[in-house]
Amino acid sequence: EGMRALLRMALLYPDDKMKYLRRFRELWGYIKRYVIDQDGVWLGVGLDSRPHRGKQAKATPWKEPSHEVHSLLGCIRLLRLVQ
């Protein structure tokens, strides 16, 4: 959801000193590096803060992919408007 919020702000305030589009790119870089594992599964927490999570079960009763999918689809729609 943070990615979608940053993209929305980039659309609303493209010249803002907060540089929302740059911050979106930084967040996406973090996610690719620390949250998405080698199988493409989004972990519940970044491996930089909890490296042992990469060795634990990927699914739990409280973790399912609908949030990631919803966020990414929203980002795709917004990126089409930003670029």
What is the CB neighbour count within 10 angstroms for residue 35?
18
Distances (CA, A) of 23 to 5, 17, 26, 66, 78: 11, 11, 5, 24, 15
Whether residue 58 is predicted with pLDDT greater than 80 in this model: the reply is no
SS3 at position 50? coil
Residue with the larger pLDDT of the pair 36 and 62: 36
Please give the pLDDT value at position 42: 84
Categorize the per-residue pLDDT at 30 as very low, low, confident or very high, splitting at 50, 70 and 90: very high
Query: Percent helix, strand, coil in the chain (nearest 5)?
Result: 60, 5, 35
0.95 surpassed by pTM: no
Whether residue 24 is predicted with pLDDT greater than 80 in this model: the reply is yes
Residues 6 or more apart in contact with residue 60 via CB below 8 angstroms: 44
Please give the pLDDT value at position 75: 93
